[in-house]
Every structure is written in C-alpha cells, then in structure tokens.
C-alpha cells in the first residue's frame, strides 16, 4: 500500500500533541517546568518520531522501542525535568494514559464537529481542554478528600462522629483569646447536644455575601481527629461555631476543622 507522508506535518502534529500532554503531566506531577522547556521536550520527542519514519523503521521492534520507550523518556526528562528511574517510569506511564484518553476524546470530538481549516489542531485543542477540565475536577476532588478526616466530638457525655474538612482558608478565631474556631452544621450540633443548649459566645466573621456577621460558638469537651488507622489527635475544649447553612452540597463533610488543630 502506497501513501505519502509529509514530515513537516507529522512534526507539527506531534509537537502540538506532545506539548499539550507535557502540560497535563506538569499539573499532575506538580513540576515547575516552564513553557520553553516543555516546548523543547516536545520538539525532541517529535523530531525523534520523524527520524524513525524517515528511516522507515516505525513498524519494526527497534522503531517501536525508540518511539515508545527512548523518545518518551527523553521527552519527559527534558520537558519536565524528571529525574531518577522511578520518576521517569511514573511520568512515562502517565504520559501514555493521558495520550490514550486524549486520543479517545479526539475521536469523539472529530465525529461530532467539523473544521474547514486544519482540523487536527482544532480537534486536538478541544480534546485537550475537555481532558484538562476533567483532570482538574478529579484532582480537586482527590485533594479535598485527602483533607477530610474522621472526627469525634464530645459534649457532656454525648459524642458524635462526623467527617471534618481541614480547610486552610478557615482563619476564624475567638477575638478575645484567639482560640481557633471549627465549624459544625446545626443538625449535627443538635445531634451532639440533644435537648441541652450550650452556652454560646458570638464570634465575628466575614464571608462572601456577609461582610460582617456573628456566629454562635460553644466549647465542646473534646475533639478527636483521626489522621490514620493508628493515629489520632485529641483537642481539649475546642471552640465550635455553628452554622445553619450546609457546608458541603454533596454532604462530603459536616464540619470544617481549623488548620491549627493539626499543628
């Protein structure tokens, strides 16, 4: 079977795809590689692929070894500054997982849309944006779940178990003694206190939509934060603010923990 291959087109298409994939890997691996470095890595990878096709060895085991192992490893080392065997294996594995996902999205996009001029670039960019948005959403969920802890709150002989989110943005403190304030939902407070009303103090706070507000807060007897299977931290007399608003729309947690409680 005869076909024509334009090396300049092959180079540009691989350059674009590799550069976008390196951008995704940078976010997943939390690298500090800049755009110029990623472009250099993508260019080296793309030149390597073009060289393999120029020598007509792309279908041989040597050609596949060069493309899928050597050039990919060199690309992530140059483009992302990855060092060590473990780092390279992890980066290359993520590269192919991302490439597989990008290819699947590309196929779907190309079946749904049409571009009159250079469709490859348009389909690739749209596929990248879809994959990038999906990965950002998944990474946000993963990051949030890593900061959710099993928490036990005790008050006057009663206890409740809740999921507490460690929120570094929570800087709420008692203005007099500067005690850190964690936040509990109203329905969980009722479950903890029962028919007994705790002694409240008002803590000033500000948030979006309410620049000046007062939150009722009370001292619980203790608070256990389970950081692992065999690790937990006990906090004596924690100050607990109470809110009637839901803290999580997906009910992932019912309490926001102050970051100082785990220091």
Q: Which of 12-26, 119-133, 137-151 has the largest mean confidence?
A: 12-26
Dihedral-angle region of residue 157 (phi above 0 means left; psi in -120 to 50 means alpha; beta otherwise): left
147-262: which CATH architecture?
Answer: Beta Barrel (2.40)
Residue 3 has pLDDT above 60, yes or no: no
| H or E segment and range at residue 117 | none
- Look at 184 and 132; give whichever has higher pLDDT: 184
Give the model's pLDDT for residue 236.
93
Residue with tokens 């979006």: 208
Q: Which of 173-182, 209-218, 245-254 has the largest mean confidence?
A: 173-182
Give the model's pLDDT for residue 219.
94
Q: Quote the mean pLDDT of the chain.
A: 83
Residue 1 has pLDDT above 60, yes or no: no
Rounded Cα distance, 210 and 220, in Å:
26
Rounded Cα distance, 245 and 262, in Å:
25
Record the tokens describing residue 167, joined without a space: 């929120």
Rounded Cα distance, 136 and 141, in Å:
9
Q: What is the mean pLDDT of residues 202-209?
A: 76
In terms of Cα–Cα distance, which of 164, 165, 189, 169 is closest to 241? 189
Residues 76-92 have pLDDT tens digits of: 888 888 888 888 888 88
Q: Domain residues of the chain, as ranges?
A: 7-145, 147-262
Q: Is 170 exposed, middle or buried (0-12, 13-18, 19+ CB in 10 A)?
A: buried
Q: Report pTM.
A: 0.55
């Amino acid at each position: 079977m005869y076909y024509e291959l334009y090396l300049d087109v092959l180079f540009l298409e691989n350059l674009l795809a590799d550069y976008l994939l390196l951008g995704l890997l940078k976010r997943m691996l939390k690298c500090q590689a800049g755009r110029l470095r990623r472009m250099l890595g993508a260019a080296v990878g793309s030149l390597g692929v073009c060289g393999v096709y120029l020598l007509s060895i792309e279908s041989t085991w040597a050609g596949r070894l060069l493309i899928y192992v050597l050039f990919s490893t060199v690309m992530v080392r140059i483009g992302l500054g990855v060092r060590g065997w473990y780092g390279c294996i992890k980066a290359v594995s993520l590269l192919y997982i991302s490439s597989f996902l990008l290819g699947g999205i590309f196929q779907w996009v190309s079946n749904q849309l049409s571009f009159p001029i250079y469709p490859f670039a348009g389909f690739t960019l749209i596929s990248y944006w879809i994959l990038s948005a999906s990965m950002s959403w998944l990474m946000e969920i993963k990051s949030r779940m890593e900061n959710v802890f099993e928490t036990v709150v005790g008050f006057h002989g009663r206890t409740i178990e809740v999921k507490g989110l460690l929120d570094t943005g929570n800087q709420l403190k008692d203005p007099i003694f500067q005690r850190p304030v964690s936040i509990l939902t109203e329905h969980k407070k009722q479950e903890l206190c029962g028919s007994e009303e705790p002694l409240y103090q008002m803590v000033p706070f500000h948030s979006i939509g309410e620049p000046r507000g007062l939150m009722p807060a009370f001292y619980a007897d203790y608070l256990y934060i389970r950081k692992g299977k065999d690790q937990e931290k006990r906090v004596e007399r924690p100050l607990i603010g109470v809110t009637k608003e839901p803290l999580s729309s997906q009910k992932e947690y019912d309490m926001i923990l102050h970051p100082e409680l785990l220091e």
